[in-house]
Amino acid sequence: MALDTYIDLKDVRLTGYVSQGLIALSALESVWGTITDWQGGSSSWSFLAIVLVVPAGVASLLWFRGVTHNAEAIALHGVRTPAQVWRASDPAQRDIPFDERVASPLIRPWQYTLLAMVGCDIFESLLLDTPAYVVFSTLSTLASVGAAGLACYLIFRVSSMQRKFAVPQPRGRRG
């Protein structure tokens, strides 16, 4: 779909790639930590997954700040939530009034799996050295993998959709 208007947008690719990488690394580490837990290993692996969540969260917030800025420029509308960013960024809905646009149906499941992961992480931390620890470690890992997959997909799609609105960059001179 060719758009007739290009908008000067922030390039969110780097923060998107970093976010996706850190999110995936955190989920993989959570899987490894849970496997270690099943084998009676140290809970420090699960703690490392929690530590990796912090830089992933910071990178994701930086990415979200950039795509929110871009979405406001695209839609000329106040944009604050992931659903609003999607609705503003979707070029297929460009001719539909903003309030009638639809967001990705994957945003809510991502939010719920993220909350489930955080809740399980809290219980996991409170139940160290108990038999229930491994149960919550496993549940946290399942939620982590689900949330990571959904987050990486949503980051990729929003970044890709916004690129369709960006001002084309001039290519080097051909001599």
CA distance 67 to 93: 17
Q: Please report whether residue 125 resides in a domain.
A: yes
Query: Of 12, 3, 110, 26, which is closest to residue 63 (Cα–Cα)?
Result: 12
> What token pair was written down for 171?
């290519």
CA distance 155 to 72: 17
Give dist(CA 71, CA 58) in Å, integer. Answer: 20
> Is position 111 within any domain?
yes
Kindly state whether residue 172 falls inside one of the protein's structural domains.
no
Q: How many domains does the chain have?
A: 1
Please say whether the beta carbons of 62 and 172 come within 8 A. Answer: no
pLDDT tens per residue, range 106-139: 999 999 999 999 899 889 889 887 888 889 989 9
pLDDT tens-digit profile of 23-55? 999 999 888 888 887 877 666 666 676 678 889
Does 5 reside within a domain?
no
Asked whether residue 69 is assigned to any structural domain, the reply reads yes
Distance CA 73, CA 76 (A): 5
* DSSP designation for 92: G
More confident residue, 17 or 50: 17
In a domain, 76, yes or no: yes
What range defines the domain where residue 132 resides?
13-163
Asked if the structure places residue 173 within a domain, the reply is no
Do the domain assignments include residue 170? no
